[in-house]
């Protein structure tokens, strides 16, 4: 079949909501876009462990420590499902990881901000995981089968993460004046970076139009950002905290919150590698990778031994 006919049939499948599977024909650009998005997503999960990992030894109680440990461990798992989904597109996990370690690959801007107090762990769960859920629930219906299936489990776990974060903040705002202040300070620092997680505004987003045509993305960056703001502002009110945006106002006509201008210069600085913690994050990932070399070697040796045993059994 000619490429043009294959492409037509491919788009018809997408339009009819038929999932694309690894062995199906797909345009090269669709494959590349998926590799880009899924690998960036996987890297974000893995780097996302670092700001929170920083607080495991300092969690204020055993209960908080257990919940945080479980959350960070979940994120490692999410990274693994996503690298596996990405491998079905014909790339090697090792190459993707090497690109991350060399600073060539992108991961979410949000993880380049520091976690200064315990309230930041609450703010990350509430806002960062809240934003992640808003962005990722539609990805359970993304057109590429392995990515969509990985997202189902990821979203279930993210919703537990979001609740543990909100509960941390709820406890702090009901505590002493200092604790409430700490929660407010965390909201002040995490609010704008959380809005940036959804990516550039639609007019500057290079990939959205094509990704929506292929149903990789179901909503644009601005649509998801607006949904997130509409959902989160009442939650901030319930906590008795103030969203740090003087222009934030409910618009009776549209039924949505109007909000102030995002500092896009800051966003691009962070994406280009010049955020507060970009260097620190890459150093920490490289160190963890080097320290884990013996585990990879042992796993390889075990796999080779198993293979040999299976060959002997079937001979
Ligand atoms: N940070 O054309 P655009 C999580 C890049 S949550 C850094 O709109 P697209 C977690 C973008 O990659 C976070 N870079 O792109 C939560 C592109 O660069 P390239 C991860 C960003 O792909 C809690 C350029 O800007 N979630 O994991 O259509 C705990 C133009 O953007 C960002 C996902 O990855 C950013 N914020 O839309 C632990 C979800 N935004 O590739 C972990 C899946 C944009 O041309 N991904 N860029 O060099 C997506 O939904 C989409 O990829 C995005 C961007 C909405 C992020």
Residue 1: is its pLDDT beyond 80? no
Residue 106 in contact with ligand 1 by CB distance below 6 A = yes
What atom in ligand 1 is closest to the CA of residue 40? 34
Structure tokens at 27: 């345009």
Residue 36 in contact with ligand 1 by CB distance below 6 A = yes
How many angstroms separate the CA atoms of 215 and 269, rounded? Answer: 29
Contact 96, 105 (CB under 8 A): yes
Q: For residue range 30-73, what is the model confidence (pLDDT) as tens digits?
A: 999 999 999 999 999 999 999 999 899 999 999 999 999 999 99
Residue 116 DSSP symbol: -
Quick one: pLDDT at residue 2? 77
Residue 123 φ then ψ, to 5°: -65, -35
Across 242-253, average pLDDT: 98
Residue 142 in contact with ligand 1 by CB distance below 6 A = no
Quick one: pLDDT at residue 315? 82
What atom in ligand 1 is closest to the CA of residue 205? 2
What is the 311 CA–ligand 1 centroid distance (Å)? Answer: 44
Q: Sign of torsion, CA 45 48 53 59?
A: negative
What is the 69 CA–ligand 1 centroid distance (Å)? Answer: 25
Q: For residue range 111-167, what is the model confidence (pLDDT) as tens digits?
A: 999 999 999 999 999 999 999 999 999 999 999 999 999 999 999 999 999 999 999
How many angstroms separate the CA atoms of 134 and 221, rounded? Answer: 11
Quick one: pLDDT at residue 152? 95
Residue 221 in contact with ligand 1 by CB distance below 6 A = yes
Residue 37 in contact with ligand 1 by CB distance below 6 A = yes
Strands (E), 91-182: none
How many angstroms separate the CA atoms of 47 and 45, rounded? Answer: 6
Q: Residue 26: helix, strand or coil by DSSP?
A: coil
Residue 109 in contact with ligand 1 by CB distance below 6 A = yes
Global pTM reads 0.95
Q: For residue range 263-301, what is the model confidence (pLDDT) as tens digits?
A: 999 999 999 999 999 999 999 999 999 999 999 999 999
Residue 201 in contact with ligand 1 by CB distance below 6 A = no
Q: For residue range 206-228, what is the model confidence (pLDDT) as tens digits?
A: 999 999 999 999 999 999 999 99
What is the 198 CA–ligand 1 centroid distance (Å)? Answer: 7
Which pLDDT band holds residue 4 (cuts at 50, 70, 90)? confident
Count of C-beta atoms within a 10 Å radius of residue 295: 9
Quick one: pLDDT at residue 291? 97
Tell me the Cα Rg of the chain: 21
Quick one: pLDDT at residue 45? 97
Residue 207 in contact with ligand 1 by CB distance below 6 A = yes
Residue 47 in contact with ligand 1 by CB distance below 6 A = no
Q: What is the mean pLDDT of the chain?
A: 97
Structure tokens at 160: 């537990």
């Amino acid at each position: 079949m000619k490429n043009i006919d294959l492409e037509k049939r491919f788009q018809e499948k997408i339009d009819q909501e038929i999932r694309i599977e690894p062995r199906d024909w797909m345009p090269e650009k669709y494959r590349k876009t998926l590799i880009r998005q899924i690998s960036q997503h996987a890297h974000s999960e893995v780097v996302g462990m670092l700001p929170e990992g920083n607080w495991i030894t300092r969690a204020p109680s055993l209960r908080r420590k257990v919940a945080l440990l479980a959350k960070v461990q979940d994120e490692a798992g999410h990274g693994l499902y996503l690298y596996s989904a990405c491998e079905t597109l014909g790339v090697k996990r090792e190459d993707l990881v090497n690109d991350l370690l060399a600073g060539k690959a992108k991961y979410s801007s949000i993880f380049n901000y520091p976690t200064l107090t315990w309230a930041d762990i609450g703010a990350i769960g509430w806002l960062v995981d809240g934003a992640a859920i808003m962005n990722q629930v539609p990805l359970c219906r993304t057109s590429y089968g392995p990515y969509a299936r990985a997202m189902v489990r990821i979203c279930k776990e993210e919703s537990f993460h979001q609740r543990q974060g909100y509960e941390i903040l709820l406890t702090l705002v009901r505590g002493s004046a200092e604790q409430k202040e700490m929660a407010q300070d965390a909201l002040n620092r995490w609010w704008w970076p959380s809005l940036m997680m959804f990516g550039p505004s639609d007019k500057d987003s290079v990939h959205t139009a094509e990704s929506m045509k292929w149903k990789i993305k179901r909503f644009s960056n601005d649509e998801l950002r607006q949904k997130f703001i509409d959902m989160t502002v009442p939650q901030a009110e319930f906590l008795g905290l103030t969203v740090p945006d003087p222009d934030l106002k409910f618009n009776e006509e549209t039924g949505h919150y109007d909000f102030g201008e995002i500092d896009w210069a800051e966003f691009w600085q962070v994406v280009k590698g010049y955020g507060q913690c970009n260097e620190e994050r890459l150093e920490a990932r490289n160190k963890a990778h080097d320290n884990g070399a013996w585990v990879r070697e042992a796993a390889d040796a075990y796999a080779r031994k198993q293979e040999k045993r299976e060959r002997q059994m079937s001979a």
